[in-house]
Amino acid sequence: MKTKTTSDTVQPVTGQPDKNYFRFHEQHRHLASVFGNDWFAQKAESFARFFGTPVFLITQTVIVLVWIGLNVTGLTRFDVYPFILLNLAFSLQAAYAAPLILLAQTRQADRDKAHADADARHREALARASDERLALAAHHTEQMVELLEQNTRLTELTRQMSQRIQELTTEIHGRILGDGESSSCVSGTTGQTE
H or E element that contains 4: strand 3-5
Which pLDDT band holds residue 119 (cuts at 50, 70, 90)? confident
Type of residue numbered 114: A
**78-110 residues labelled b (16+ CB within 10 A) or e (exposed):** ebeeebeeeeeeeeeeeeebeebbebbeebeeb
What's the confidence (pLDDT) of residue 14? 54
H or E element that contains 148: helix 84-193
Average pLDDT over residues 141-158: 96
User: Where along the chain do its domains lie?
Assistant: 34-186
Cis peptide bond prior to 82, omega within 30° of 0: yes
Cα separation values, 159 from 156, 165, 183, Å: 5, 10, 36
Q: Which residues pair with 11 in a beta bridge?
A: 4
> What average pLDDT is seen over the chain?
79
CA-CA distance, 174 to 182, in Å (whole number)? 12
- CA-closest candidate to residue 14, choices 28, 29, 1: 1
- The SS3 call for residue 152 is helix
Average pLDDT over residues 103-128: 85
pTM: 0.45
CA-CA distance, 156 to 149, in Å (whole number)? 11
Higher model confidence: residue 63 or residue 76? Answer: 63
H or E element that contains 11: strand 10-12
In the chain, beta strands by DSSP E:
3-5, 10-12
